[in-house]
Structure 1
């Protein structure tokens, strides 16, 4: 449930009358908030006017401000300023008011509710001259719907317990049919317009004979067409990783849900070097067998030539492919065999790794 708020700030234009004759003065230029209800349009020379703030505005000082019509047809200066009174925005509405905690006199709060909710109360409120609002904030009440009808040869299963003869917007339920039939649609809702989802049609459906998946197999199934909600379970060949749901289910459309996929393992395609794998730092020749599973991470070591230190770069096995970082340099036989302690994996580690580098797919 949510209440939407809009603030409309109204301003009063400057009111004045221009008179060309120097023997009289026209209506003075009046700033916003000054009371003009009793002010004439033309004044004689020497005539005085007492300026006051109109209802809903506060004067800048407590002293009375008087101005006089001079012989030049101009008015003497006034330092009166009238500022609008403020109405505090109700706390429950402040999150919608863009940081404002109050609004000036004559502002309006306009209210609306999200789809699926009915506004109870006034849809607008105005800031009055006494710093109060004309109407309290309304309430957004969820639309109610009649309880759903069950399908022929089936029933309704509510997600939440229901009492009485109505349900409210946002609630949902599922439809079930007597086996072996399936509903034409499985879910129902109380809609935003107060209507209820029409019950489905119960009909018999059949899914085709299940088939195997590459690098995997069906663990147990009778090779025949399957009915609604019947399941088939898959597994992968050794060292392959199953991705997705292991079980495939016959749906109400007569189609199977998505099959899982068997992702291939990877080999670490270097001849010399040290890696970090499975929480261990190992030489590549000690990785026996040379195999990492799909999704597993292998860390290689690169050299920062400027700082003369080593830094780790990770790579992830993705369905048989393990990219080798571009910064990794495989050492020659002599260095690898005679000076292994000079390799990036063995020297001082850098305090911070250089900017990320792409990897090279070999």
Structure 2
């Protein structure tokens, strides 16, 4: 674009006024510096075609000089959604998104993000927030559900369980309807264990007892029973434990059940009745 020059001739001194075309303001942009402390400059350019992305323009970027930058565009506020909200951090065209979120108890359906486009409109109208429900809670074996049965339950609703007689509740006695429409982890009703000993004493709840002294000969889930084992070299006894788990109680490998003959005629030599190795 040619310069338009107007000359005004007066007495000394002579003043020349110049009117620049739009393109001429490029010449007024600061010369690009090699280093700028605390600032990173974009790619240097002289025309838009020098820029790697279509959205970028070759514009004056302050002390960086002519650089490939993305023009800023603004959009009106995104559409509001019922039972939800959006989070925004300005509306720059390149890489800027607005995120939608739902209030607790609601599930997002549809696109979670929308973008401010070059034409100053949003890329979509946003999602919807649907109320979350949980299905009926699961039944548990040997358990009883303490609740009014419904087709669906609201988020944060709590349901309680009980175990049938002689069963031990393993875990929380309640479950909660979670925001994802699932129930929290529920309990299990564990069976008691029969102590697999007839002709030997055991240590249960800190006492040395015969099985007949234990109620119904059963111990609760997760309880430990200590069995007497024989040290055949030293002819003394020591103890080893085994834990009840949901109806199963396996004696330790070292335990040997005395025979009827040993129990009737040599009862003093039954493993639980001989001296402890700790006494040696």
Q: TM-score, normalised by structure 1?
A: 0.42
Whether the aligned pair in 1 keeps the contact of 2:228 and 2:240 (CA below 8 Å) is yes
Aligned to 2:61: none
Return the alpha-carbon distance in structure 1 between the equivalents of residues 102 and 269 of structure 2. Answer: 69
Aligned to 2:148: 221
Return the alpha-carbon distance in structure 2 between the equivalents of residues 229 and 265 of structure 1. Answer: 33
Return the alpha-carbon distance in structure 1 between the equivalents of residues 279 and 103 of structure 2. Answer: 62
Aligned to 2:197: 270
Aligned to 1:329: 256
SS of equivalent to 2:208: strand
Aligned to 2:240: 313
**Superposed CA RMSD:** 3.1
Deviations 1:112-142 (A, max 9, x none): xxxxxxxxxxxxxxxxxxxxxxxxxxxxxxx
Aligned to 2:167: 240
Return the alpha-carbon distance in structure 1 between the equivalents of residues 215 and 172 of structure 2. Answer: 31
Whether the aligned pair in 2 keeps the contact of 1:210 and 1:224 (CA below 8 Å) is no
Return the alpha-carbon distance in structure 1 between the equivalents of residues 169 and 239 of structure 2. Answer: 29
Whichever structure has more helix as a proportion of its residues is 2
Q: Which has the larger radius of gyration?
A: 2
Whether the aligned pair in 2 keeps the contact of 1:230 and 1:250 (CA below 8 Å) is yes
**Is 2:253 the partner of 1:253?**
no
Deviations 1:278-328 (A, max 9, x none): 121111233231111110001110100111110001000011110112221
SS of equivalent to 2:212: helix
- How far has the Cα of 1:220 moved from its partner? 2.6
**Is 2:231 the partner of 1:304?**
yes
Where in structure 2 are there 5+ consecutive unaligned residues? 1-80, 86-100, 109-126
Where in structure 1 are there 5+ consecutive unaligned residues? 1-150, 156-174, 185-199, 354-362
- How far has the Cα of 1:259 moved from its partner? 2.2
Count the aligned residue pairs.
171
SS of equivalent to 1:255: coil
Return the alpha-carbon distance in structure 2 between the equivalents of residues 286 and 259 of structure 1. Answer: 34
SS of equivalent to 1:324: coil
- How far has the Cα of 1:183 moved from its partner? 5.6
SS of equivalent to 1:245: coil
2:211 to 284, 294, 319: 284
Return the alpha-carbon distance in structure 1 between the equivalents of residues 244 and 198 of structure 2. Answer: 18
Equivalent residue runs for 1:19-168 within 5 Å: 153=83
Whether the aligned pair in 1 keeps the contact of 2:107 and 2:132 (CA below 8 Å) is no
Whether the aligned pair in 2 keeps the contact of 1:210 and 1:225 (CA below 8 Å) is no
Whether the aligned pair in 2 keeps the contact of 1:250 and 1:256 (CA below 8 Å) is yes
Aligned to 2:103: 177
Return the alpha-carbon distance in structure 2 between the equivalents of residues 344 and 270 of structure 1. Answer: 12
**Is 2:273 the partner of 1:349?**
no
Deviation above 6 Å: which 4+ runs of structure 1?
none
Q: TM-score, normalised by structure 2?
A: 0.54
Return the alpha-carbon distance in structure 1 between the equivalents of residues 172 and 231 of structure 2. Answer: 43
Cα distance change, pair 176–249 in 1 and its aligned pair in 2 (3 A): farther
- How far has the Cα of 1:338 moved from its partner? 3.3
Return the alpha-carbon distance in structure 1 between the equivalents of residues 183 and 210 of structure 2. Answer: 46
Deviations 1:186-227 (A, max 9, x none): xxxxxxxxxxxxxx9743011112232101011233333101
SS of equivalent to 1:325: coil
Return the alpha-carbon distance in structure 1 between the equivalents of residues 279 and 189 of structure 2. Answer: 37
